[in-house]
Amino acid sequence: MSEPDKARHRRWRALRADPRWRWIARGAALAFLLLVASLVVIEARKVHWREVFTAIQSMPWPVLAAASGFAMASHLLYSTFDLLGRRYTGHSLSTRAVMAITFVSYAFNLNMGTLVGGAGIRFRLYLQLGLALNAIARIVTLSIMTNWLGYMVLAGAILLWRPFALPYQWMKDTGIVDVIGVAVIAVPLFYVTACARSRRRVVQFRGHKLTLPSFRLAVAQLVLSCANWMAIGGVVYMLLQQRVDYPAVLGALLAAAVAGVVSHIPGGLGVLEAVFVALLSDRVPKEQLIAALLTYRGIYYLVPLFIAAPAYFLFEARMRQSHRARDSRRAAPATSR
């Protein structure tokens, strides 16, 4: 790291260590949370909830089956993200174990937040299977990057396409939005180019080191992530019974995903609905829109969690059993002596 970089890194660390910075960061997060909460309350008061539940009950079975198919495809695609991590780190865990851990952690992540699912459960399960902390950290980092690389490609394309009216006045300037869209797409393209041509395979950013994967692995990250986000969009698109064009549904979903991350609300509860209502309520009645989104939560969030929770506890029980058996084998020679 060069001297200017070291100096910037020291200034950044000093800024983050300043108690005032912590209060500013917490205040900004709280202000955003209050803004989202107020929007949710305002919109919720406008909704006729009896009509919402009537719309849920009248959802046709073929629509639910098609949406469930897209949900299964998305969870399957996401479960392959850590297979890329296996290739990246070179560990030898089986495909079945890796995909099971990824599925379980993703289901918990959707419902309880990143610290519990995306990181906490992944670290615990991989540690139980013997992976080193460094390898697990690299797997989680690659998985997060995979998720957001595809997101940026699709988000940039949506900004350039603009399938719906953007909510703020400054966004109505097509030149600004076009520049943002191109810049967003440029990030993953730059990443893939760096993976293909960089001679120095290690990149440093604010004191953190990242070893670039191979070009093929980077392309696989983009393809799998784009396919996953598009499959998630397919779930909502089917539940809306194709009343809204797919690009508009996908754009609303991508906007809601960022709002949910910034708000730090597990599962983006209320945030998802508020964003969809803000962007698409001119095309679909609010009651039908919220009915589709509540059904989406049931299919995409809750059903996988009902599968993942017992799978996780079963894994924990088996690992405890395995550890007791191993400890008893180690104690046996000492007992015989």
Domain boundary assignment for the chain:
63-316
pLDDT attached to residue 312: 86
pTM score: 0.79
The overall average pLDDT reported for the chain is 81
Residues 62-79: pLDDT tens digits? 999 999 999 999 999 999
176-230: per-residue pLDDT in tens? 888 889 999 999 999 999 999 887 777 776 666 788 999 999 999 999 999 999 9
Task: Quote the pLDDT of residue 182.
Answer: 93
Residues 6+ apart with CB under 8 A from 56: 291, 294, 295
The whole-number pLDDT of residue 124 equals: 85
- Quote the pLDDT of residue 43: 47
**Rounded to an integer, what is the distance from CA 55 to the centroid of its chain?**
28
> What's the rounded Cα separation, in Å, for the pair 47 and 63?
23
CA atoms of 288 and 285, how far apart (whole Å): 5
Q: Distance between CA 272 and CA 280 in Å, rounded?
A: 12
CA distance 94 to 89: 14
pLDDT value, residue 96: 94
Read off the pLDDT band of 320 (50, 70, 90): confident
pLDDT at 189: 95
Would you give the distance in Å from CA 167 to the centre of its chain? 24
- Closest Cα partner for 238 from 295, 156, 278, 198? 295
The pLDDT of residue 175: 77
In angstroms, what CA-CA distances link 86 with 93, 106, 169, 258?
Answer: 8, 17, 46, 28
Asked whether 42 and 66 are in contact (CB, 8 A), the reply is no
- Alpha-carbon gap, residue 193 to 92, rounded angstroms: 28
Per-residue pLDDT for 40 more than 50?
A: no
Per DSSP, what are the bridge partners of residue 120? none
Give pLDDT, residue 155: 94
CB 217 within 8 A of CB 195: yes
Relative orientation angle of helices 19-46 and 3-17, to the nearest 10 degrees: 60
pLDDT computed for residue 21 by the predictor: 60
Top-confidence residue, 160 or 168: 160
Residue 333 pLDDT: 60
Residue with the two structure tokens 């395979």:
201
pLDDT at 325 over 60: yes
Q: Could you report the per-residue pLDDT of 84-119, keeping only the tens digit for each?
A: 999 999 999 999 999 999 999 998 888 877 766 667
Q: How far apart are CA 195 and CA 50, in angstroms?
A: 53
Average pLDDT over residues 238-243: 92
What pLDDT does residue 39 have? 47
**pLDDT at position 22, please?**
64
Phi and psi dihedrals of 285, rounded to 5?
Answer: -55, 145
Of 281, 266, 310, 276, the C-alpha closest to 296 is 276
- Run of H or E including 323: helix 303-336
- Euclidean distance between CA atoms 117 and 108, whole angstroms: 5
pLDDT band for position 336 (50/70/90)? Answer: low
Mean pLDDT of 253-279: 82
Residue 314 confidence (pLDDT) = 87
pLDDT value for 286: 85
Instruction: Name the helix (H) or strand (E) containing 198.
Output: none
